[in-house]
Amino acid sequence: ADFQPSPEDGEVESFQLHPIQEVAGIVRDTEEFKPNCNLVVIDFLIRHGVLGPEHPDYVDLVTGLHPRLP
């Protein structure tokens, strides 16, 4: 991939590319990402099969990502 994102609007300082397992570990073990960003990463991990039903918290994570509306 030749595309290199570059910060243009002052929102971020830089972009970094990490292996998906490393990102999963950052979400699991640290508070490096904002909580709302963690939700996006967890959803990505589930949709792409990185985090599946074998994970002990899978049902709670899926339920938490898709709560019932009143």
Answer whether residue 58 shows pLDDT above 70: yes
Confidence of residue 2 (pLDDT cuts 50, 70, 90): confident
Per-residue pLDDT averaged across 39-66, rounded? 96
Can you tell me the distance from the alpha carbon of 33 to that of 42, in angstroms, rounded to the nearest whole number?
Answer: 12
CB 37 within 8 A of CB 63: no
Amino acid 1: pLDDT: 60
Cα 55 from chain centroid? 16
